[in-house]
Amino acid sequence: MIWLILSLMLTQERALTENPMILAGPGILRPFYPPSESEKEIKVEAFELQQHAVTNAEFLKFVMEKPKWRRDKVSPLFVDSTYLSLWESPTRLGKQISPKQPVVFVSWFAAKAYCESIGARLPTHFEWELAAAASEAQADSRSDMTWRQKILDWYGKPAPERLPNVMGNKPNFWGLYDLHGLIWEWVQDFNSILLSSDSREAGKLDQAKFCGAGAIGASETDDYPSFMRLGFLSSLEAAYTTKTLGFRCAKDRMKGK
């Protein structure tokens, strides 16, 4: 038992040395769809988020240590048919895949399991949005139209055949890399972002997910990047995988930080 505990601690320490947790927040977020009329501003407590998206190398170590998450062993309840499909084999990346690229074709279930294996969790939607609101120079750049347009320009581009490595761009105000411009990222509550809102009728959920008309009733109608992220995440199922969807892990703020 002691050996298992020590082994787990070493695994967690190694993972967080390679991809450390960075403190972000606290801050005030005006969500695109407020949870209620009385919650148009959300206070997000300080939390920790991994410096960059989890890489192929990091996730390969995970599946080697947790073989039930290998693509040839994982239950089809938790992944779809394209899970880790870019890898050469269940335990080898291959020559065409860089260890430093973000891991993609990974489901929410697999991302959650990885984070739990290092003593962490997936960030909430509000946490991720707060971290992603920062530019290089300031904690909240959502009113900066030039910065916002850069994000929209990335959303409008086709996915590259080969993803860049992580940390290819400058970090943002918090010291976090690639929250924009590299991949989309899973969040803990991806499937309840819209359902948590009681300000709209349930029958309008699909409209809000997939088309611009869903912006009716939104509090931040000019924040189109947030709306696009909201629509994308809310259209997913937990077992889905895509070539531009990965993740990074989060933790509650440690006492003393």
Tens of pLDDT, residue by residue over 225-248, are 777 888 788 889 999 999 999 999
Mean pLDDT on 61-70: 98
**Of all residues in the chain, what percent carry a pLDDT higher than 70?**
77
Tens of pLDDT, residue by residue over 18-62, are 899 999 999 998 876 666 666 678 899 999 999 999 999 999 999
**pLDDT reported for residue 212:** 34
Q: Are 172 and 136 in contact (CB under 8 A)?
A: yes
- Whether the model clears a pTM of 0.95, i.e. scores above it, the answer is no
Residue 154 above 90 pLDDT?
Answer: no
**pLDDT reported for residue 168:** 93
Domains, the chain: 2-252 (3.90.1580)
Q: Are 80 and 107 in contact (CB under 8 A)?
A: yes
**pLDDT reported for residue 145:** 87
**pLDDT reported for residue 194:** 59
Q: Which residues pair with 102 in a beta bridge?
A: 55
Cα–Cα dist 38/51, whole Å: 33
